[in-house]
Amino acid sequence: MSKPLLEVIGLRRIFGAEPQLGVLHADLCLQESEKVSIVGSSGSGKSTLLSMLAGLQRPDCGSILFAGRNLWELTTRERCRIRQHQICFISQFTSLIESLTTLDNLLLAQRLSGVDFSPSSRDQAYQCLERVDLKEQANTPAKFLSGGEVRRAIFARAMLSEPKLILADEPTSNLDSQMEQNLFDLLIDICQQSDSALIVVTHNVSLADRLDRRLTLEDGILHGDPTHNPPRAESQPQLEQNKSLVLFSRRALLIGSVLSLVSVPVWIERNAQRLRNKSLLERSKLERLTFSGLGTELVDIKLDRKDMYIGSVTIDNLDVTQDLFLLPTNVEIFVQAGTAWSPFPAVWSLSSQSVVHVDRQRVLTFEFSDLPEKYTELVPGYLHVRINLTYLIANSPQPQYSPLERRDSFFVYLLPINPNPERLELNHFPGQPPLFIPMPPH
């Protein structure tokens, strides 16, 4: 008999002193390509269970064996690699970055892991978008996608990584019934074509019953047939011990809630508080790095032989004691025409499209052209241009916490490719007119 892809034994994680908060006991055995659903009421611990299976939250006790390896005996780097290449986690929350195009959102994981772009990787991403009927929206910013399109893009991103296991937490929530059915069909189709195993958490019992097995998480305990295989003889004593522990825990918690004489051990509450404090501290550090610890300056704009403007911006880590990693994500160019700002295309240079470790001053470059012939002149003969640069900031190349987004705006007066000499003479420059004149933010 083949070894299971995923084996969960005696998993437990609880928060605070509430009897039903977290997961009290979970056993699960999942074969390759098998599809399992987990249902349960809100607050029963479904999302906590899934995040432990994904290696995102450490259990209080129990083990998670993925492809024969205990996830929580691995290093953080090893777990990150497994999440990048073998386990795909689909959150119940939309996780696209609005300023990126649909295609760039699919390729973001590769960029964060430092993988160089190649025509084949883009072709593969386009194929995934085509399979979810989003090829026409490949270059559309995510903020313009509908709710259903966002979910399909997230499914396409899952497909691109070709995972062995997909963990989906309420992947069809907040959609109408027909859209929910269509997306669930798509998710099953993706798993079948890629031969991926699937664990999906859902409130919809009719959808849950379409998979190979349905389990129920109730009061923190996972019910149902945890495996198609008979329990191993050597694990039976441990299983009975775990069941006794669960019964004892529930009784103790019930007495505590009624008599206020017994509570969850103090160390559990302290440990939970310590983890919350650590998370808040790391988030606070990242926010400080993002908005106060990063110095940026537009230092140059040049015009190459192909009439392409090339802008350069310096990036400085103002707190050298803290690691800072940056991923350029978006460039926007706007030219003033009357009282409005008209957008024009721009891109980061190929050399500036990967993760940058800002351990010293770094220089990023971006490119743009095709500016308008008609524009508002605040300085005679010059365009009034606003440049928006967007980056993702993290304190690690493989961050455990979501990166933060930062946007910088620079204003310049820019010489057109074909300037009007008569208009430029009105400025009385002592020599050649400069290509650009930097302006303070306004």
pLDDT in tens, 16-52: 554 446 788 899 999 999 999 999 887 778 888 988 8
SS3 87: strand
Residue 148 to residues 87, 142, 297, 372, Cα–Cα distance (Å): 23, 12, 39, 36
The answer to which of 115-124, 145-154, 197-206 has the lowest mean pLDDT is 115-124
Taking residues 244-251, what's their average pLDDT?
47
Domains of the chain: which residue ranges?
A: 6-102+161-264, 288-439
Across 197-211, 232-246, 349-363, least confident range: 232-246
Q: What does the DSSP assignment read for 366-417?
A: EEE----SS---SSTT-EEEEEEEEEEEESSSS-SSPPEEEEEEEEEEE--S
**Predicted local confidence at residue 112, as pLDDT:** 60
Tell me the average pLDDT across 224-248.
48
Q: What is the dihedral of CA 423, 425, 428, 431, to 10 degrees?
A: 120
Give pLDDT, residue 19: 47
Q: Which residue has the tokens 């295309």?
A: 345
Residue 5 has pLDDT above 90, yes or no: yes
Q: What is the pLDDT of residue 216?
A: 92
pTM of the model: 0.55
Q: CATH fold of 288-439, please?
A: Immunoglobulin-like (2.60.40)
Q: Assess contact for 331 and 368: CB atoms under 8 A.
A: yes
Q: What percent of the chain has pLDDT over 70?
A: 80
The CA-based angle 135-346-141, given to 5 degrees, is 35
Task: Output the pLDDT for position 212.
Answer: 92
- To the question of domain 6-102+161-264 being in CATH 3.40.50.300, the answer is yes
Residue 274's pLDDT band (cuts 50, 70, 90): low
Q: Could you report the per-residue pLDDT of 278-305, keeping only the tens digit for each?
A: 566 666 777 777 777 788 889 999 998 8
Q: Give residue 270's pLDDT.
A: 54
Nearest residue to 151 (alpha-carbon basis) of 127, 190, 179, 123: 179
Can you tell me whether residue 236 is helix, strand or coil?
Answer: helix
How far apart, in whole angstroms, are the C-alpha atoms of residue 333 and residue 130? 29
Evaluate if residue 214 carries a pLDDT over 90. yes
Nearest to 160 by CA among 130, 200, 199: 130
Distance of alpha carbon 236 from alpha carbon 245, whole angstroms: 14
pLDDT computed for residue 405 by the predictor:
85
The residue with tokens 């933010």 is 441
pLDDT digits (tens, 9 = 90+) for 45-89: 888 898 889 888 888 889 999 999 999 888 877 887 888 789 988
**pLDDT given for residue 396 in this prediction:** 81
The model's pLDDT over 309-362, given as tens digits with 9 standing for 90+, comes to 999 999 988 877 788 889 898 899 999 988 888 888 899 998 898 889 998 889
Among 150, 161, 148, 158, smallest CA distance to 100 is for: 150
